[in-house]
Amino acid sequence: MLLDGVAVAFALSGATVAAVLGKLLVGLVLAGLAVGFVLRLKNRKAKLASPANEATVPFTGIARFAAGAVSVAEVALLVEAANLPVRFNQDGFHMGHWYLVLLALAAAYLLQLPLFSRLLSRQRPPGAA
């Protein structure tokens, strides 16, 4: 009888331990991401303080259009892949989901605009206007 009680307690504590370890692991991953983000910001500030070797590339209209189109496509794919309810007739719809979509769209656009600007400026011949 005592052995059965110990076995049940051990089985129940196993699930608790697994849940605690899972949360600890998620916390460690999020802490690692936060440290990486802080280090990235620190390096960016140091890079901005030093004189740049490269001239900045202006954002052209085609770069803005390409970044916008790719950002819309990426966010649309993410919304559909995550099954985020953004339509009024979907179950679980909430207007707050649109804030997430707009935030993701702005972040994707702002991150991809310099990339497309650099890519498209390299493709032009040196004498082209």
Q: Which residues, at least 6 apart from 87, have a Cβ–Cβ distance to it below 8 Å?
A: 93
Q: What is the band of 79 on the pLDDT scale with cuts at 50, 70, 90?
A: confident
Considering only residues 78 and 57, tell me which one the structure prediction assigns the higher pLDDT. 78
> Can you give the three-state secondary structure of the chain, one letter per residue?
CHHHHHHHHHHHHHHHHHHHHHHHHHHHHHHHHHHHHHHHHHHHHHHHHCCCCCCCCCCCHHHHHHHHHHHHHHHHHHHHHHCCCCCCCCCCCCCHHHHHHHHHHHHHHHHHHHHHHHHHHHHCCCCCC
Domain hosting 126: range is 56-129
At which of 14, 37, 53 does a domain end?
53
> 11, 31, 53 — which closes off a domain?
53
pLDDT at 18 over 80: no
Q: How many structural domains comprise the chain?
A: 2
Q: What is the pLDDT of residues 80-125, one digit of tens each?
A: 888 888 888 888 888 888 888 899 899 999 989 888 888 887 655 5
Do 100 and 81 sit in the same domain of this protein? yes
**Whole-structure pTM value:** 0.51
| Distance from C-alpha of 77 to C-alpha of 102, rounded to nearest angstrom | 14
pLDDT the model gives residue 122: 67
Question: pLDDT tens digit string along 44-62?
Answer: 776 666 655 455 666 788 8
Report whether 62 contacts 118 (CB < 8 A): no
Looking at residue 4, its pLDDT comes to: 78
